[in-house]
Amino acid sequence: SYELTQPPSVSVSPGQTVSISCSGDRLEDQFVYWYQQKPGQSPLLVIRQNNERPSGIPERISGSKSGNTATLTISGTQAMDEADYYCQAWDRSTAVFGGGTKLIVL
Amino acid sequence: QVQLQESGSGLVRPSQTLSLTCAVSGGSISGGGFSWNWIRQSPGKGLEWIGYVYDSGRTHYNPSLKSRVTISEDRAKNQFSLKLNSVTAADTAVYYCARVSITLVWGVITHRDAFDIWGRGTMVTVSS
C-alpha cells in the first residue's frame, strides 16, 4: 500500500525556522495537504494543495513540494506551534496520511 | 458555518458492531460538492482514513477495512453514519467525521480536496 513518510519528531528554538518533510513515491503527481493537531484537539488544515494557506492560518506557515518530497516550513516558530503535524495525499480514491511529526519548541 | 458532531456508543464489546453518527449543521449533505468522511486515531497513534459517502449514497472505503465497514447517509436527518463490524481491541480509537470538497463530472469524482472541517471526535473503546 502507498505510504507517506515523515520524521517522527523535529525540534526548534523559539523564533527559528523549522521544516518538516513528507515523502512518497507518487507525491510528484499528487496534491499534498498538511494538518496541525494539538493535544486533545481535532486536526486543523494548515496547508492545502501543496502551498495554499486557508483563511486564518498565519503567514509564517508555508508549504512547498519538489519532486516526491513535500515540506512544511514554519518561520519565526512560536510556542503555540508545538503540535503534531500530518501530511496527507489522495492516492487514487484513497486518502493516505503520513505517520505524523511531533514539533517540539525548545 | 458548517459544523460536524459525532455521537454513538463509547464502549463496544469485541466481535460486536461499532455504530457512530455524524450530525451536520450549518449546511446540507444533500447539496452536493462534498464527500463525508470517517477517520480514526488510535491512542498515541496517527490518523487512519476509513472511508466516505457522497452523491446520494455512493461510497469508497479504505481497502484495509473494506470488508468490515459501511458508511451511509440519512438526508432527512442531515447526518451520515459509520458501522464497523467484528471489532477487536485494535479498533479502539478516537473517531472523527470530516468534510472534503469534491468535483464530480458525470458522477465520477475528478478531484478531492482537503479535510477542511472536522468534528471534535468521539472515543470508542472495544473491551469486554
Each residue's pLDDT tens digit, A51-99? 999 999 999 999 999 999 999 999 999 999 999 999 999 998 999 999 9
Statement: residue B106 has pLDDT above 90: no
Q: What tens digit of pLDDT does each residue of B34-84 get? A: 999 999 999 999 999 999 999 889 999 999 999 999 999 999 999 999 999
Nearest CB to A100: which of B46, B60, B62?
Answer: B46
**Facing residues of B93 across strands?**
B124
Q: B46, B71, B57: which is closest to B107 by C-alpha?
A: B57
Residue B31: pLDDT band (50, 70, 90) is confident
Nearest CB to A42: which of B48, B63, B96?
Answer: B96
pLDDT of amino acid A50: 97
Taking CB atoms and an 8 Å limit, are A94 and B113 in contact across chains?
A: no
Q: What tens digit of pLDDT does each residue of A13-63 get? A: 999 999 999 999 999 999 999 999 999 999 999 999 999 999 999 999 999
User: To the nearest whole number, what is the mean pLDDT of chain B?
Assistant: 95
B118 to chain A, closest Cα gap in Å: 7
Picking from B40, B45, B47, B103 by the largest number of A CB atoms within 10 A of its own CB, the best residue to mutate is B47
Task: Kindly provide the b/e burial profile for residues A6-18, where b requires at least 16 CB atoms within 10 angstroms of the residue's own CB.
Answer: beeebebeeeeeb
**What are the distances in angstroms from CA A102 to CA A87, B105, B116?**
12, 39, 21
pLDDT of amino acid B55: 84
pLDDT of amino acid A1: 86
Nearest CB to A95: which of B49, B96, B116?
Answer: B49
pLDDT of amino acid A12: 97
Q: What tens digit of pLDDT does each residue of B78-92 get? A: 999 999 999 999 999
User: To the nearest whole number, what is the mean pLDDT of chain A?
Assistant: 97
Q: Specify the residue for cell string 470538497.
A: B101
Q: By the 8 A CB rule, do B82 and B62 touch?
A: no
pLDDT of amino acid A88: 98
Q: B76, B75, B71, B124: which is closest to B98 by C-alpha?
A: B71
- What integer is the mean pLDDT of B6-26? 97
HSE value, Cβ hemisphere, 13 Å, CA-based, for B6: 28
Q: Which helix (H) or strand (E) holds A63?
A: strand A61-66
Residue B108: pLDDT band (50, 70, 90) is confident
A77 to chain B, closest Cα gap in Å: 23
